[in-house]
Amino acid sequence: MFSDNILAGGFTGANISSKTGEFATGNIDPSNYATKIADNKYVPIGEMEVGSTFTGKITDIRGNEVTIDTGRGELHAKIAASVNININEVRQFEIRENSENRFLIAPLESESFSPETEAVYKALNALNLPATDKNIDVVFGLLNHQMGLNKQNVQMLLAASYKFPDMEIEDLIFMQKNQIPITEENVTHFLNYSNNSQTLSSEITQLSANLSNMIGELLQEGAKSQSISDNPVLMDFMKEVFSEQEMETLLSRGDSPDFTGQLKLLLEEHWAITPENFSKSTLQENIAKTLVDMESLTTFLKKSKEEFALSEEGVKQVFDGGKAVAGNLNFMNLINHTLPYFQIPLKFFDQVSNGEIYVFSQKRTLSAGDGVRLFLRLDMEHLGKTEVLLYLKDKNVSADFAMEREDAVETVKENMETLKNNLAKKGYVLTDTVRLKEEEDRSLFDTALSEEGDSFEVKRFTFDRRI
């Protein structure tokens, strides 16, 4: 079961080189994005209706005429009444009159200007940065997450946002706060996780197919080698990857007419986890071993290219597949130091299915003795997408099953007694709910980000942006 704390520690194999407080932005150079960072689009506030409000910094005062930097350009207007205003002051203004010949504004009382909004504009003013949308988002995000606020940090985040336009500012700040280098590879993984377009199970399935096909091609190359045991390069690789028992199984199937297919199944079974063997320790061991296997695979591919006449395309497919698996695992290792989210390749019969698990942080519970809450998402061939919210305290298990199809709901209900009996034999008491999934489909990774975002104990501001 899930009584062991899966939050503890991370996996080996990832390189975290950034230091606390420094931006882990890889090769991002803010100077390359200076033009974009300084680009302030002018929005014609003069076209706004009477009663509309906007915020800006007063840059010049001449009698009852003022010049205001709105962050998108300068605005020249007349003040409706004699008020106490100062140059470099950030204020909120209301449009009192707007006609062809007259544009009249009035500063609002300071109490109508929320402390959070004022803090953002004061920070921009202190950093000598214009109040553009990007600058506001970055400064607000840094303040919201209680991170160091200086011009270098702001410019580095702006550079990252321009280099990776598909990333939200909040997500870039999350990566920086948790020392995840903002590199092309990590951003790609982050976006793929967020939109459900990358799963470890599919990568392992594809790699197993490509590798078994390449090995089949190698064995059929000619007189050089016709069997695994006669090929020292292949044998060395297989011994590094497979256990003795797996090697016995592999060699016993060497003469099978469908050896390629048999090898594919063995590779999938080797890199996947069976449900009955799933635990924190097996998950950690599996990922650590798979990372080592990917290193062995790289060495094997280099030697094979030198000694055998293999298809360039076939070798490239295997190499790219191994790189994808290793990259996925290393990224998972990086985020696991803060975000207890895992992708799990689960082996069901002759198929590898995608599984995901998110362990709610102890910060989300009232006390350490409140038990463990888990969120599982499984892609099942016959049941479809299955979501299970588990709560475990002592020997009591509460499970909420959410299925995407009515027939799946009935199937789970019909088999629930068997599950209860099996758990009872191990001393657990199960309370269950089985229902049709109604919530909007959302990636479990995004769900984990939202949950952990709330657990950072960061004050959440409501930002009033009316420019």
Location of each CATH 3.30.750 domain in the chain: 360-455
| More confident site: 355 or 31 | 355
Location of each CATH 2.40.50.140 domain in the chain: 45-115
Residue 456: pLDDT band (50, 70, 90) is very low
pLDDT at 41: 40
pLDDT at 421: 92
In 3D space, the residue among 211, 193, 219 whose CA is nearest the CA of residue 294 turns out to be 211
Question: What is the DSSP code (8-state) at residue 180?
Answer: -
Q: Is the pLDDT of residue 267 over 50?
A: yes
Residues 6 or more apart in contact with residue 108 via CB below 8 angstroms: 53, 91, 92, 93, 94
Average pLDDT for residues 332-349, to the nearest whole number?
A: 84
Residue 214: pLDDT band (50, 70, 90) is very high
CATH of 45-115, one of 3.40.50.11540, 3.50.50.60, 2.40.50.140, 1.20.1050.10: 2.40.50.140
Cβ atoms < 10 Å from Cβ of 371: 17
Q: How many CA atoms lie within 13 A of 304 on its CB side?
A: 28
pLDDT at 369: 57
- CATH top-level class for 360-455? alpha beta
pLDDT at 20: 34
pLDDT at 253: 80
pLDDT at 132: 75
Average pLDDT for residues 26-48, to the nearest whole number?
A: 54
Average pLDDT for residues 396-420, to the nearest whole number?
A: 92
Residue 313: pLDDT band (50, 70, 90) is very high
Please tell me the distance from the alpha carbon of residue 408 to that of residue 185, in angstroms, as a whole number.
37
Q: Is the pLDDT of residue 410 over 90?
A: yes
